[in-house]
Amino acid sequence: MPSKDEKIFVTRPNLPPLEEFLPYLEKVWESRFLTNNGPFHRQFEAELSRFLGVDYLSLFANGTLALVTALQALRITGEVITTPYSFVATAHALYWNGIRPVFVDVEPDYLTIDPAKIEPAITPHTTAILGVHVYGNPCKMEQIQEIADTFGLHVIYDAAHAFGVTYKGQSVLRYGDLSILSFHATKVFTTFEGGAIIAQNEKLKERIDYLKNFGFANEVTVIGPGINAKMNEFQAALGLLQLKYVQQYIEQRKQISLRYQEIFEKIPGIRVLPHPGEIEYNFAYFPIFIDEKVYGTSRDAMYEILKQHNIYARRYFYPLITHFPPYRGYESARPEHLPVAEKVSREVLCLPLYADLKPEVVEQIGDIFKQHAP
Ligand code: T4K
């Protein structure tokens, strides 16, 4: 049992031993290279690409700037078809680019954008599909690509949750035109803040690298209205060290997830997401879905009950993006068009999950839910 005053949050970042990081800091102090494609940045970019099994990766200051820049890199305009069931940054990246989001519902099993809903939403203004591998569940990438090819659309994946996830033995980051990652403190792999864009060709990576550095191609040439979205040397150095440990973090997360699964599968009225064998997961989140009519207690009541035990679960993703003021006025944001997303966002609760979460806390959480079971 956690001590009476110990707060258990939905996540807790994993960090390497501090003494292992100090030599990296000494090097930064010696070299005085703090940012702008310094030595650690170059090394991290190469090693991370190898680790993830991708060829054209550009590091970023955070995932949101990566997404904003990805849309710029592909010169996306007009309308983009996307999901309401994500962190609000997904839609904000469109907004910051002056793009109109067109929301379509998610499919019920994995909660990623429903391919069957995409085609009817295409108009002459549609230029791209922006899917989210929510909780690390890959979108239906083959079906989405087929639609995109038929209608001449770009495909961008918000893979903020999908670090290291593979589908049929290959990184999910190899699908679509571009994917973005987040290395925020709350993610499986963290560099404090951080992110990346993964492209499928060298030319596009080059454009992305210019755009994240104000558009500079060289000292005197600016190729377009770039931004400052560069990862710094501190983040890159930490990333290098984190690569040594991330596989172990994922394995620990897996063990915790398996135990949660065992507990919650047996509780009537609570659903956990399926994990098909063709996907190698990163166990980024452990969402459960509470059907109040069967379970007898509402999701919000359980959220409060857990808090009384100092357990701070989170309702990712509630409210839906389409309920927030910048987006709720769109026709596509109306709840009647998004029945699956509306339902799951009322039912979802993400339980604490991080590599060193104590097994007794997992049992305690399970016991709290069993006590309220029908
Ligand atoms: N696309 C998707 C699909 C995303 O989920 C996100 C980010 C993005 C794009 C954008 O990527 P970034 O620009 O962030 O790289 C968090 C994160 O801030 C956000 O990165 C993440 N998604 C989102 C799902 O969750 P909050 O507001 O829930 O975070 P916060 O500060 O409440 O943290 C949750 C808990 O984690 C805290 O209660 C305690 C613990 N925590 C948090 C931090 C920051 C720590 O123990 N240490 C920490 O340093 O948004």
Q: How many Å lie between the centroid of ligand 1 and the Cα of residue 187?
A: 7
Tell me: pLDDT of 150 over 80: yes
Q: Is the CB of 290 under 6 A from ligand 1?
A: no
Give me the mean pLDDT over the 134-142 stretch. Answer: 98
Q: Is the CB of 132 under 6 A from ligand 1?
A: yes
Structure tokens at 144: 């989405």
pLDDT for res 277: 87
Taking the CA of residue 65 as reference, the ligand 1 atom at the shortest distance is 13
Q: How many CA atoms lie within 13 A of 32 on its CB side?
A: 0
Q: How many Å lie between the centroid of ligand 1 and the Cα of residue 62?
A: 11
The CATH class of 18-242 is alpha beta
Contacts of 192 (CB under 8 A, 6+ apart): 183, 185, 234, 235, 238
Q: How many Å lie between the centroid of ligand 1 and the Cα of residue 182?
A: 10
Tell me: pLDDT of 31 over 70: yes
Among 69, 132, 186, 321, the mutation site with the greatest number of ligand 1 atoms within 8 A of its Cβ is 186
Q: How many Å lie between the centroid of ligand 1 and the Cα of residue 240?
A: 21
The protein residue with its alpha carbon nearest to ligand 1, atom 44, reads 185
Give me the mean pLDDT over the 310-324 stretch. Answer: 98
Q: How many Å lie between the centroid of ligand 1 and the Cα of residue 186?
A: 5
Give me the mean pLDDT over the 124-153 stretch. Answer: 98
Tell me: pLDDT of 180 over 80: yes
Q: Is the CB of 59 under 6 A from ligand 1?
A: no
pLDDT for res 3: 63
- Mean pLDDT, the chain, rounded, equals 97
The residues spanned by each domain of the chain are: 8-12+246-371, 18-242
The secondary element (H helix, E strand) that includes residue 177 is: none
Share above pLDDT 90 across residues of the chain, in percent, rounded to a whole number: 97
Give me the mean pLDDT over the 239-250 stretch. Answer: 98
Give me the mean pLDDT over the 313-325 stretch. Answer: 98
Find, among 224, 176, 183, 189, the residue nearest to 69 by Cα.
224
Q: How many Å lie between the centroid of ligand 1 and the Cα of residue 319?
A: 15
| Kind of pairing between the strands at 166-167 and 126-132 | unpaired
pLDDT for res 2: 57
Instruction: Give residue-wise pLDDT tens across range 182-207.
Output: 999 999 999 999 999 999 999 999 99
Give me the mean pLDDT over the 123-134 stretch. Answer: 98
Strand partners, 8: 311
Among 137, 184, 192, the mutation site with the greatest number of ligand 1 atoms within 8 A of its Cβ is 184
Architecture of the domain whose range is 8-12+246-371? Alpha-Beta Complex (3.90)
Q: Does the fold of domain 18-242 match that of domain 8-12+246-371?
A: no
Instruction: Give residue-wise pLDDT tens across range 35-84.
Output: 999 999 999 999 999 999 999 999 999 999 999 999 999 999 999 999 99
Give me the mean pLDDT over the 105-131 stretch. Answer: 98
Q: pLDDT band at 4, cuts 50/70/90?
A: low
pLDDT for res 359: 97
| Kind of pairing between the strands at 8-9 and 311-312 | parallel
The protein residue with its alpha carbon nearest to ligand 1, atom 22, reads 87
Single pTM value for the model: 0.98
Tell me: pLDDT of 1 over 60: no
Enumerate the H helices of the chain as residue ranges: 18-31, 39-52, 63-73, 89-96, 115-118, 141-151, 202-211, 233-265, 292-295, 299-308, 339-347, 359-371
